Every structure is written in C-alpha cells, then in structure tokens.
Amino acid sequence: MGLKFFAGVRPVSRGGAIRDALAGVILASTNIPQVLGYTRIAGTPVITGLYTAFLPLLAYTLFGSSRHLVVAADSATAAIFSSALSQMATPASAHYMALVAVTALLTAALLLLARVFRLGFLADFLSQTVLVGFLAGVGLQVGVAMLGDMFGLSVHARHALLQVWEILRELPASNAATLGLAVVVVVAILVGRRLDRRWPISFVAVVGATLASAAFGFAGHGVAVIGAIPGGLPSLSLPQVTWTEFLDLLPVAASCFVMILAQSAATSRVFAERHGERVDTDADILGLAAANAVAGLSGAFVVNGSPTQTALAEAAGARSQLAQQVFAGVVLLVLLFLTGPLQYLPRCVLAAIVFTIGVGMVDVRRLSAIRRESPGEFMLAAGTALAVVAVGVEPGILLAIALSLFRHVRHSYRPHSMVLIQGIAGPWMPVEATPGRQTRPGLIVYRFGADLWYANRNLFVDEVRALIEKAPEPVRWLVIDAEAMPDIDYSAAATVRDLLTDLTGKGIGLAFGRVSASLRSDMDRHGITPLLGDARVLATLHESLALAGVERTLS
C-alpha cells in the first residue's frame, strides 16, 4: 500500500474546516495544561511537554490515517520510561534527556519495523482486561507520585509504597497554602468533569494560578513555582549515549512500543467505528513511528495515541486531524510568546492536574463491569494493577503481557468441550461434556473447543475416555465435531492415532465431522486419515451422523 499523506485530514469542507479549527483551539486550552503536567511523570523539563504537542503531533497528521487520534504526551508511556531511566540518570539532567531522546528514537525504530513487517497484530496480545488493570496501576502510581508536590514536600523515594511512607513521615512539614491550592484545583477539575468534560477547567486553573502567583508572590510564601522556562522553537539534534546504555534502553523502548501499539490501535478503532470510518493500522503505525522519531530529535519524549485526549477532541467537535494541526499551531504561539509568564505557575497546580489524570486512569466503571461479568478476569486486572504499584511500571507492562498470553494459552489448554444431545422438542443442543453424558444410546458426539496441540492433547483423550467409560450404554460410535478444531499438531496427532487404535480394538467406531480444509490437510500429513479411512473424515456433521446410523440431522 502506497503512502497517503494527510489521510486523516482529507477530505475537508469549508464548514468542516471552521468546525475543526474551533475544536483545535478548545483542544489546546484543555490539553496544554495536561502535556505540561505529563512532564512531572516523565521527569523532564516543563517545556518538553509543549514540544510533544508540536512537531510530533504534526508528524502524525502527515502519515497517520485516523481522523481522531491525538498523538502527544501520554501518562502511561511517560511512567514506563521514567521509572527505568530515573535509575540511570538524574531526572531533567542533560544525561537523562539524552536517554529519553534515544528511548523515543528506539521506540520509533520498533514501530517502523512493525510497519514494514505488518506486526500491528501484536497489539492484540495485550488483552483489554489486563490493559485496564495496568492503566489503573499506572494511575495509582502517578497519583501517589504527585502527592509530594501537592503537600509541598520533597519526596526522594522512587516506588509508590515508599513514597506513601515518606509522605506520611514528613506530613507535619507540609505547606498549608500549597496543599490548599492543590485541593482547590483537584476539586474544581473533578467537579468540572462530572458536569461537562469539555469545560477547560485545567486551563482556567493554570491561567488563574499563574496570574495570582505573579501578582501576590506565591514563591515568597513557600509555594514552589516551576521557574524560568526557555522559549522558542525546539532545536533538532542527535542524542549521544554509550553502547551499554543503548542496550539497557532497548527493553524500555520495547515496553513503550507494546503500550503504544495496544493503546493507540484500540483508541483509533473505537473512534473510527463510532463514526463509520475505516482504520488503516499500517498507516497509523507509520505515523506513530514518525511522531516518535521527531520527538527524539526535537528534545521531547515518547508520544502515544491518548484515549483521554482523543475523547476530549471529539467532545470539542473535532472530526479530522485539522483540529490537531490547529492545536499544534496554538502550541507554537505559546512557545514563541507565552513561556515567560509560565515561570510563575505553582508546581502544586501541575501536580494537582496530573493527580486528576491519574485518578481518571482508574476506570472504576470498567473494572466493576469486568468483576460482574468475569470474576476470573477481574483478578487478572487487579493483580496487574497491584503489581504496577508494588514493583513498578516496566515490570508491570511485562506482567501485563505475560498475563494476557497466559489467559489465551489457558483458554486453549482448557477449552469448552461439549456433548451434543437431542432436546425434548427435537433439536440438538450442546451440553457440558461431563462423564455419563451421551448423545443417544451407543453414540457420543463430542465437540472440543480449540486447536488440538501438545498441551491439551491429554485433556482431549482423558475426556473422551471418561465419556466412554462412564456412558450408561456401551458406546459403539464416537463422532468428533471438529468445527472449533482448525489445526492439529504433531504431538496431538500421535495421541489421536493411539486413541484410534485403542477404540478400534474395543469395537468402537470413530469419525470426524465438520472437518475444515486446514484440519484435513493436517490429518492427511500426520497419518490420521489413512489410518481412519477417507469415509470417516467428513466435511459435515450430518454425514458423520449418517455414518453412525443416525438419521436425524442437526437443526
């Protein structure tokens, strides 16, 4: 597929352009305080938050296909790289910023490889259930990390639990004015969200607090401010790190890569489906690669497709990437003309904004729905969240991937298996394959709900043997409904051949019904078909039942 530039912008009408331009201004007013706040998570200078919403955002609009995805700073990826990099260098130092830039470039390289080799499907291996738990854990960790600035305390611990302990120990030394201002901002933002998420409460808080700080000298009353911020455009440069540091950054970039794939892909799909649009995953991955490459070269940090910022853009009326381009234009004006006043912005206000972002990442509604519908999956989500809080974000993302794969493997290892029985009203229906079940006297129709492979082959054989041994009538025919069994591997095939030999010795006939072309190919290659006979490997269940002497077909 060839490159399609500005696919997320075109086509655009005059009315649509005006609507998106206004949405871009509203988006800037709500998101600029957030991208400034994300630097508190990332451990980078405040100006880098603005950098993420300028050149990286424009780079995505050039190559990406989504008309809605907002690509800029994101709390999840910021937490992932900062937790690792803060142990390699002092946050906000020149060395730290070089590590941050290389992480963004490595993430861009991984995304580019994913585009070239069409690896977008990897995002599907991080289940939504575990992703909800991971983001909840990140939200809790982010919220805890902001408490120090909100109380006016210097917190040096890196892990959330140690930070809580340090804050409790130093609580008598907290600054009442700082805490009071932070609480007012938190309450205002949370109440504003409940009333209307489109209200730019964060923007009003930043502007109001900055003006009040400049007028009344907050810094002289013990309220810390962010200090001087360099203005102007970001400079482009290639960061330098040692080879050892480069290798240490690879797993950090890989974690960011997985989160970007999962979160951005899910977000772009949701909003595209909502508006009846098509998603070009390859183009979106290329856009994300370009955005992170520009971020690494322009002094910013890893960027991601943000669900919250995308939702805010939609609520503001944005229907194309033109709104994001206007957002970047507003950021450009701030970089050129408005960084001076930001030096008076109280640090506790930024911390309060990020605290509310962390609170918003704990999706109580979805967690409750998961708990109600699937308690087992809720335990996976909760376990992931607790792991992130207890051991950190980077181990947490690795655990999230492992749990997602474990959940998939567990389903394949112990799939749902059924026995088809004839209901009272006549039609056939599947019931749980428990010993003693039979389709009718002398016949068992058994359905195994997954591929047959080396890990579940013993389960398959054990269930079949138990059904035959516990059947109330001697079994003369076993029919395998293979509709949900598209493949069979070498080890499982050997087990099936042994089972066939055993059943034949007992005078029990075995047949496969609803055999797909791929399964038939596997059975031919592994020698099952020659041993069983072509007449017993059939494309429909009706033929298998007829072979077993059953005249009534499935309804």
Mean pLDDT check: name the lowest of 237-246, 295-304, 532-541.
532-541
Note whether 425 and 381 are same-domain residues.
no
Dig out the tokens for 103 from the structure.
């992480």
Note whether 56 and 73 are same-domain residues.
yes
Burial tier of 201 (Cβ tally within 10 Å: 0-12, 13-18, 19+): buried
Q: How many CA atoms lie within 13 A of 124 on its CB side?
A: 6
What was the pLDDT predicted at 325? 95
Does 218 have pLDDT greater than 70? Answer: yes
In which band, very low, low, confident or very high, does the pLDDT at 50 lie, cut at 50, 70 and 90?
A: very high
The answer to the question of residue 516 being in a domain is yes
Note whether 382 and 511 are same-domain residues.
no
Angstrom distances, CA of residue 101 to CA of 6, 231, 262, 418:
26, 19, 22, 54
Q: Which residues pair with 72 in a beta bridge?
A: 304
Which string of b and e fits 143-156 if b means at least 16 CB within 10 Å? bbbbbbbbbbbebe
Note whether 160 and 248 are same-domain residues.
yes
What was the pLDDT predicted at 418? 92
Among residues 45, 345, 48, 354, the alpha carbon closest in space to that of 225 is found at 345
Burial tier of 344 (Cβ tally within 10 Å: 0-12, 13-18, 19+): buried
What was the pLDDT predicted at 168? 93
- Predicted TM-score (pTM) of this structure: 0.75
What was the pLDDT predicted at 423? 61
DSSP 340-392: TGGGG-BHHHHHHHHHHHHHHHS-HHHHHHHHHH-HHHHHHHHHHHHHHHHH-
The answer to the question of residue 5 being in a domain is no
The answer to the question of residue 7 being in a domain is no
Task: Give yes or no for a contact between 301 and 44, defined as CB atoms under 8 angstroms apart.
Answer: yes
CATH at 514: 3.30.750.24
In this prediction, residues 250-255 reach a mean pLDDT of 93
DSSP state of 438: -
The answer to the question of residue 194 being in a domain is yes
In this prediction, residues 111-126 reach a mean pLDDT of 80
Which string of b and e fits 440-470 if b means at least 16 CB within 10 Å? bebbbbbbbbbbbbebbbebbbebbeebbee
Does 124 have pLDDT greater than 70? Answer: no
Note whether 77 and 210 are same-domain residues.
yes
Note whether 389 and 471 are same-domain residues.
no
Question: If you compute the radius of gyration of the chain from its CA atoms, what whole number of angstroms results?
Answer: 29
SS3 sequence of 39-72:
HHHHCCCCHHHHHHCCHHHHHHHHHCCCCCCCEE
In which band, very low, low, confident or very high, does the pLDDT at 125 lie, cut at 50, 70 and 90?
A: low
Does 128 have pLDDT greater than 80? Answer: no
Note whether 493 and 344 are same-domain residues.
no
Does 211 have pLDDT greater than 50? Answer: yes
Does 285 have pLDDT greater than 60? Answer: yes
Residues 234, 555: Cα–Cα separation, whole Å:
68
What was the pLDDT predicted at 262? 80
DSSP 137-157: HHHHHHHHHHHHHHHT-----
Domain count along the chain: 2
Does 553 have pLDDT greater than 60? Answer: no
CB atoms within 10 A of CB 30: 22
What was the pLDDT predicted at 402? 79
Residue 398 or residue 181, greater confidence: 181
Among residues 65, 538, 69, 124, the alpha carbon closest in space to that of 303 is found at 69
CB atoms within 10 A of CB 474: 11
Residue that finishes a domain, picked among 362, 380, 409: 409
Burial tier of 501 (Cβ tally within 10 Å: 0-12, 13-18, 19+): exposed
The answer to the question of residue 554 being in a domain is no
Where in the sequence is the domain holding 191, given as residue range(s)?
15-409
Does 551 have pLDDT greater than 60? Answer: no
Note whether 356 and 498 are same-domain residues.
no
Percent of the chain with pLDDT over 70: 97
Residue 96 dihedral angles phi and psi, to the nearest 5°: -60, -45
Residue 447 belongs to what H/E stretch? strand 443-448
Task: Give yes or no for a contact between 309 and 72, defined as CB atoms under 8 angstroms apart.
Answer: yes
Note whether 403 and 443 are same-domain residues.
no
In this prediction, residues 11-31 reach a mean pLDDT of 87
Does 119 have pLDDT greater than 80? Answer: no
**In the chain, what is the straight-line distance between the N-terminal and C-terminal CA atoms, in Å?**
44
Dig out the tokens for 117 from the structure.
């080799």
The answer to the question of residue 145 being in a domain is yes
Note whether 361 and 279 are same-domain residues.
yes
Q: What is the pLDDT of residues 303-347, one digit of tens each?
A: 998 877 887 788 778 889 999 999 999 999 999 998 899 899 999
Residue that finishes a domain, picked among 358, 376, 409: 409
Which of 215-224, 228-237, 291-300 has maximum average pLDDT?
291-300
Residue 462 dihedral angles phi and psi, to the nearest 5°: -60, -40
In this prediction, residues 502-506 reach a mean pLDDT of 92
Does 424 have pLDDT greater than 80? Answer: no
Residue 480 belongs to what H/E stretch? strand 477-481
In this prediction, residues 505-519 reach a mean pLDDT of 92
- Give the mean pLDDT of the chain: 88
Does 291 have pLDDT greater than 50? Answer: yes
Residue 302 dihedral angles phi and psi, to the nearest 5°: -50, 135
Among residues 56, 47, 46, the alpha carbon closest in space to that of 309 is found at 56
Q: What is the pLDDT of residues 430-465, one digit of tens each?
A: 889 999 989 888 999 999 998 999 989 999 999 999
Note whether 287 and 421 are same-domain residues.
no
What was the pLDDT predicted at 554? 43
What was the pLDDT predicted at 427? 64
DSSP state of 275: T
Residue that finishes a domain, picked among 358, 382, 409: 409
Q: What is the pLDDT of residues 370-394, one digit of tens each?
A: 899 888 888 888 888 888 888 777 7
Q: What is the pLDDT of residues 360-370, one digit of tens each?
A: 888 889 899 98
Residue 130 or residue 447, greater confidence: 447
The answer to the question of residue 59 being in a domain is yes
In which band, very low, low, confident or very high, does the pLDDT at 90 lie, cut at 50, 70 and 90?
A: very high
Note whether 381 and 502 are same-domain residues.
no
The answer to the question of residue 6 being in a domain is no
